[in-house]
Amino acid sequence: MTHIDDTTVTEAATSTHEVSGYSDGQLLERVRRGDRAAWGELVHRHAGRLWAVARSQGLDRDMASDVVQFTWLALVDSAAAIREPESLRAWLVNVAKHEAIRVSKKFNRESPTLDDSPCETADERVEAPEARLEKADDVNAVQAALARLGRRCRSLLQLLFADADLSYAEISEVTGMPIGSIGPRRGRCLAELRRLLES
């Protein structure tokens, strides 16, 4: 497992690639013919989404990193066999989801006392009582409230608000929630989060 440096940001890596406007299927066809730039474009197009899928299963940064890397390696092994290249995005999300669930279950089996523990952002931030009044505009306070939220609500809000460009269909696929229930649950989870924030 490679340890992820928390201080690194993505700007440097994202600013150097060019966007061609090719579809996923066209890029995959180019990748199959050995086009490295096409691979880079696929990675930049989808890595953030795969990261969000892995993180939404409660994985820490190192575990999520392994899941994302595994997903791309799986694509290397399967590239020739993918029958619907234009469905590559769904294929990637599906692989990342299954691997993240497998890792999450293994982790919870090996560390049962950590099951359903608050996410790392809450562990890192202990709130001082005098800070309560300033809660409303405090990212840390929202993160602490998120950590107290139920796991399914937290996962849903992460997927909806983490800027990972996931469709409702993909969120439904990742969470197992029916598409039609995502909107109502979104409202209920936000209301519950607000209640925790204000309590």
Between the alpha carbon of residue 105 and those of residues 38, 102, 115, the distances in Å are 34, 5, 9
For position 168 contacting another protein by CB under 8 A, the verdict is no
Q: Quick one: which of 131, 136, 169, 179 contacts another protein (CB under 8 A)?
A: 136
Q: Quick one: which of 143, 148, 168, 173 contacts another protein (CB under 8 A)?
A: 143
Exposure of 46 by Cβ count < 10 A (0-12 exposed, 13-18 middle, 19+ buried)?
buried
Nearer Cβ to another protein (36/128)? 36
For position 190 contacting another protein by CB under 8 A, the verdict is yes
Least distance from another protein to the Cβ atom of residue 82, Å: 14
For position 66 contacting another protein by CB under 8 A, the verdict is yes
Least distance from another protein to the Cβ atom of residue 114, Å: 15
Give how many residues touch another protein by CB under 8 A: 59
Q: Using CB under 8 A, which of the segments 18-26, 126-134, 155-163, 174-182 binds another protein? A: 155-163
The pair of structure tokens assigned to 122 is 């809450």
How far apart are alpha carbons 92 and 191 in whole angstroms? Answer: 32
Block residue for tokens 């909806």? 160
Q: Quick one: which of 109, 129, 133, 199 contacts another protein (CB under 8 A)?
A: 109
Between the alpha carbon of residue 76 and those of residues 23, 34, 80, 127, 187, the distances in Å are 18, 11, 8, 45, 39
Q: Quick one: which of 26, 61, 94, 168 contacts another protein (CB under 8 A)?
A: 61
Binding site residues, another protein, CB under 8 A: 1-2, 4-6, 8-10, 12-14, 31-32, 34, 36, 39-40, 43-44, 47-48, 51-52, 55, 61, 64-66, 68-70, 72-79, 99, 103, 106, 109-110, 121, 136-137, 139, 142-143, 146, 157-158, 161-163, 190, 193-194
